[in-house]
Homo-oligomer: A and B are copies of this chain.
Amino acid sequence: MAFSIQIDLDGGVTSPKGFLANGVHCGIRKNKTKKDLMLLVSETMCDAAAICTKNLVCGAPVTVTKRNLENGKARAVICNSGIANTCSADGMEKAQAMCELASAYTGVAAEDVIVGSTGVIGQPIDLVPIQNGMQSLVDGLSKDGSHAAAQAIMTTDTVEKHIAVTFPLGGKTCTIGAIAKGSGMIHPNMATMLSFITTDAAISAEMLKTALLRCADKTYHMLSVDGDTSTNDTVAIMANGLCENLRIEAENEDFQCFCSALLTVCEHIVKMLARDGEGATKLVMCEVGHAKTEEIAKMCAKSVIRSPLVKTMMFGADANCGRILCALGYAGADIDAKKIDVEYVSAKGSILVCKDGVVLDFSEEKAKEILLEDTVTVRVNLHDGEAHATAYGCDLTYDYVKINGDYRT
């Protein structure tokens, strides 16, 4: 199965056929230059699926979205930034009211709306600015609206996150597009990682969910900025079928193509999220290879990426390999400490710093040169099998402390 995936770095949720989007400033946020409300609508009904936070303290919009997706159908997304609509008294009613507002202005049934909120937890959301903003939001819906939509969900993000890919699917040309926000998985405060993905593929809700779960296991679930899991995390995908491929309803070759393309989208989004982690100066990846099982590879890769001591050493470009070994050792995975090799890799080359669990007498200068790059990979070889996994994260910096030390004021 060979096929090519065309990547459009400037693309987004309106790249697939039949999707319109917009984002406006409606007044939930005080800063008038910051958009805070987005709408995404498909011309036709979509098969849809979502993965939501497993946090027991869960945002009201998450609960409403899950309920609305029970039948595997959706046609629109409404989402605000500024207030998370979580842990406040009438959150459910307000999340429902947002769906009804989207319905009133677009004609999409309220139960076919995916709703999201991101921002401060525990403050009540005010519906008045949302009501006031709906008309201009709907009037501005367009094929060029993906950027505005992406901007409207940004919180502590410093860059807008979007991508689209195009690929052949059953003799047709299919597109998948996405926007996302989040300076991590993981922000209970300016809460939330949100990703909205659209596609014009024809695919059943069940297969869409399978594809999303499979890709998320390798991407979203391998991302950690600070180890905190937000109350509002949501990745939602809608497929309207307008590219007219033969509808995917089983794990056939077309399904594999779709999964490959979706994985490309998810990997790109996750790298953008990690690189833009709060205060981060670099994207750090940990590739664990030759593990006994994929689960072991995942546990090890995530343990390294999550370690505050690894994260601070990456900030300092300090090649302190003992911290990598330590994080591998407490990962909770069944590994042989005497077989571990560790290598640092970046655009400046690579250097082996540990062989068979013993730290080598390597060139500190060369290692520093490699670690100073803005994309660094820690490559671990466990010499214990054939499974592998990659985790995505970033460094821990003064700015992380600054951003989170007194965020609300």
Contact = CB atoms under 8 A, between A and B. Distances in A.
Interface residues of A, number: 63
Copies of this protein, total: 2
B326 A408 contact: no
Contacts of A228: 307-309, 323, 326-327, 330
B191 A121 contact: no
B189 A401 contact: no
B358 A191 contact: no
Interface stretch (A13-21, A173-181, A311-319): A311-319
Main secondary structure of the interface of A (DSSP, over half): loop
A84 B313 contact: no
Interface of A: 54-58, 84, 86-89, 120-123, 187-189, 191, 226-231, 306-309, 312-313, 315-318, 320-323, 325-330, 335, 337, 340, 354, 357-359, 396-398, 400-402, 404-409
B408 A359 contact: no
A307 B227 contact: yes
Contacts of A189: 309, 313, 320, 322-323
A322 B121 contact: yes
28 contacts: A57-B337, A57-B357, A58-B329, A58-B337, A84-B322, A86-B322, A87-B321, A87-B322, A121-B320, A121-B322, A121-B323, A121-B325, A121-B326, A122-B358, A188-B323, A188-B325, A189-B322, A227-B307, A227-B308, A229-B329, A312-B401, A312-B404, A313-B404, A315-B405, A316-B405, A318-B407, A396-B401, A397-B401
A354 B327 CA distance: 35
A229 B330 CA distance: 6
Given A316-B404, A330-B54, A401-B312, A325 B122 contact: yes
